[in-house]
Amino acid sequence: MLIDGERILAVGPVAEVRATADAASRSGSGGDTRSVTTLDARQCLILPGFVNPHWHEGLARRAQALGMPLSDHADPVSPFARGGDIHALSQNFDALYSWHEKMTPQESEAFARYALWAQLRSGTTTVGDVGSVAWPEALVGAARTVGLRAALSVWASDALCLPGETAFTRTRDADAVLARIEEQLLACGADGTGRIRGMPSAVYTANLSDELAEGIVALALRHDTPVATHLGALPNESGVVREYFGRTPVRRFAELGLLTDRLIAVHCAYADLEEWAMLRGARVHISHSPAKYGLSGESTISGSRMIVESWRAGQRVSLSTDGEAQQIGGMPEAMRQAWLGHNEIWADNTAVRPSDALLMATRFAADGLRWSDQIGSLEPGKLADLVLIDTDDWRYTLCARPLEIFLKVGGSADVDTVIVGGEVLVRGGRPTRFEEEQVTADFVTAAYALAKRQGWPVDRPSGARTHA
Ligand SMILES: [Zn+2]
């Protein structure tokens, strides 16, 4: 592969790439040959950088869990589990709108830097934010420091569904939420690196008024961005939303102008047949996060066959990590679970092949973010975003398909090198732009400071990594 500046110039057999390099050097278009850097990627898998269109910055919430017991035996049932407690979720989600006020902008940036570093470290070169609890400007600053591509958002909610009632409760002025989203869009638009974009999002179908939904559509059109929300995520969602908002989520979105090919519908697995046809007809992008569902007790893969049916019908489907307070799997783990999980449900080893999982984690995901003209595949003319996986060890001996082995017995920790726009950001698993120890120490310090101010317990199981 030959990279000139931030773009791929040639990909192919060494002789062909060398010929392109020589021609570029002669014509002067390849730049100064004295500044050529060569990375030896023999014994490496060379993959397009992973594109993660559904992520949240919420690492500050890990401070709340510092006193978590070592034993998991007394863990409660999650509100996402057993079909979903939509009333509890809508209250939790609405409370997150003002969560950033618990921390200083500096602490928020420390959390966001560590969260984005964890993504980059696991091979993600582009994230799509479906609502973060960070201070918006802190998130932009952190993305700039870490250097990966990001379509950033704010946590948007102006309503909730209280138990025992029949209509939603408005929690804040839709215009105030829209103003904050637009402020973030303008900050992203003003970024000169070319790596940061804005993406208006709504957190959940049970958390937005008609006014907020229509305003978000207007912002997406005005700024020419995708728009994202969690939709059709849980079996109990449709009934509650119909009761509190008058229509089921998909029909409501159709009426409000949200059901278009700009929409990234996250987890979208539960819809009736008519809604399913509406989603397909509108060319809505579906992104699912299979490595996350077991953690929260969601049945997104097994509960309906809609995601693979959609994939088979040619609908655009991608993979993503989602986000939570604790460390979450990276894109390699999402690929593994998509490959093995869907095939198990379908009793069919061809339902989602390893190469299909890779497509869902790269080109199709870039398509959802409306960025596939620039990223998502390794082709001449595209931006040089790539990941090198070292395959020179026992696992790959006499193996014809290294991608399969990487997904089966490898994972995020095996990412060796990450390149974004021709710039090497990770080499040998270590960041090149900043000191990893400093970013870790800032995160740990911010977590303890936040926990102390909030009065949260800070006991940790012995042996856990609490200090840098
Ligand atoms: Zn999410």
Confidence grade of residue 160 (pLDDT, cut at 50, 70, 90): very high
CA-closest candidate to residue 198, choices 223, 180, 229: 223
Ligand 1 geometric centre to CA of 330 (Å): 14
> How close is the Cα of 379 to the center of ligand 1, in Å?
31
Q: How many independent structural domains does the chain possess?
A: 2
E strand residue ranges, 355-462: 386-390, 415-420, 423-427, 430-431
CA of 321 relative to ligand 1 center, distance in Å: 8
> Is residue 449 in a domain?
no
**How far, in Å, is the centroid of ligand 1 from the Cα of 437?**
29
Cα gap 452→458, rounded to integer Å: 8
pLDDT of residue 236: 97
- Residue 130 Cα, ligand 1 centroid: separation in angstroms? 6
- Tally the C-alpha atoms within 13 A of residue 241's C-alpha that lie toward its C-beta: 28
Using alpha carbons only, what angle is made at residue 20 by residues 19 and 23, rounded to the nearest 5 degrees? 85
- Average pLDDT on 401-411 reads 97
User: Are 183 and 153 within 8 A, CB to CB?
Assistant: no
> Of the given ranges (77-81, 422-426, 457-461), which has the lowest mean pLDDT?
457-461
- Are residues 8 and 143 located together in one domain of the fold? no
| Structural domain includes residue 112 | yes
Ligand 1 centroid vs 33 CA: distance in angstroms?
Answer: 46
Q: What is the pLDDT of residues 39-92, one digit of tens each?
A: 999 999 999 999 999 999 999 999 998 888 889 999 999 999 999 999 999 999
Using 50, 70 and 90 to split pLDDT, how confident is the model at 395? very high
What are the CA-CA distances from residue 165 to residues 87, 162, 232 (Å)? Answer: 10, 6, 22
Quote the DSSP letter at residue 76: P
Query: What residues have a C-beta under 5 A from ligand 1, the ion?
Result: 322
Q: How far is the CA of 413 from the centre of ligand 1 (A)?
A: 23
Task: Tell me, in angstroms, the distance from the centre of ligand 1 to residue 392's CA.
Answer: 35
Buried b (16+ CB within 10 A) or exposed e, 169-200: eebeebeebbeebbebbebbeebeeebbbbbb
CB 297 within 8 A of CB 82: yes
Q: What is the mean pLDDT of residues 240-267?
A: 97
DSSP strand pairing (285-288 vs 317-319): parallel
Question: For residue 396, is it within any domain?
Answer: no
Cα 96 to ligand 1 centre (Å): 13
Tell me the sheet residues that pair with 127.
52, 150
Q: Residue 250: is its pLDDT beyond 90?
A: yes
**Position 8 in a domain:** yes
| Rounded distance from Cα 131 to ligand 1 centre (Å) | 8
Residues 182 and 321 in one domain: yes
Question: Could you tell me the two tokens for 294?
Answer: 């077991």
**Is residue 55 in a domain?**
yes
- Residue 372 pLDDT more than 50? yes
Containing domain of residue 227, as a range? Answer: 50-68+78-368
> Could you tell me if 312 and 344 lie in one domain?
yes
Q: Give the span between the Cα atoms of 137 and 106, in whole angstroms.
A: 10
Same domain, 196 and 275: yes
List Cβ neighbours of 102 (8 Å cut-off, separation of 6 or more): 60, 450, 453, 454
116 and 8 in a single domain? The answer is: no
Determine contact, residues 254/214, Cβ cutoff 8 Å. no
What integer is the mean pLDDT of 367-372?
A: 98
Residues 158 and 304 in one domain: yes
Confidence of residue 25 (pLDDT cuts 50, 70, 90): confident
Determine the length of the chain.
Answer: 468
Pairing of strands 124-129, 415-420: unpaired
Structural domain includes residue 307: yes
Q: Are residues 125 and 156 in the same domain?
A: yes
Structural domain ending residue among the three candidates 347, 368, 389: 368
| Confidence band for 33, pLDDT divided at 50, 70 and 90 | low
Strand partners, 427: 430
Question: What's the token pair of residue 197?
Answer: 């974009």
Per-residue pLDDT at 465: 58
In order of 107, 253, 318, 420, the CA distances from 346 in angstroms are: 45, 30, 18, 36
By three-state DSSP, how is residue 280 classified? helix
Task: Give the domain-ending residue among 368, 399, 426.
Answer: 368
Q: Which pLDDT does position 266 carry in this prediction?
A: 97
Task: Examine the domain organization and report whether 24 and 64 are in the same domain.
Answer: no
Q: How far is the CA of 230 from the centre of ligand 1 (A)?
A: 6
Asked whether residue 263 falls in the same domain as residue 124, the answer is yes
Q: Is the pLDDT of residue 311 over 80?
A: yes
Cα gap 274→61, rounded to integer Å: 38
Residue 170 lies inside a defined structural domain of this protein: yes
Q: Is residue 26 part of a domain?
A: yes
**pLDDT, position 468:** 39
CA of 288 to the centre of ligand 1 (A): 9
CATH number, domain with residue 240: 3.20.20.140
Tokens of 69: 């017991």
Bridge pairing between strands 7-10 and 2-4: antiparallel
| Res 328: pLDDT | 78
Residue 265 CA to ligand 1 center (angstroms) comes to 10
Same structural domain, 6 and 64: no
- Is pLDDT above 70 for 189? yes
Q: Do 219 and 251 reside in the same domain of the chain?
A: yes
Position 461 confidence tier, pLDDT thresholds 50, 70, 90: low
The residue-averaged pLDDT of 165-179 equals 97
Q: What distance in Å separates the CA atoms of residue 411 and residue 127, rounded to the nearest whole number? A: 18
Tokens of 102: 């618990």
Residue 30 has pLDDT above 90, yes or no: no
Q: What is the C-alpha to C-alpha distance for residues 206 and 266, in angstroms, rounded to an integer?
A: 14
Residues 16 and 152 in one domain: no
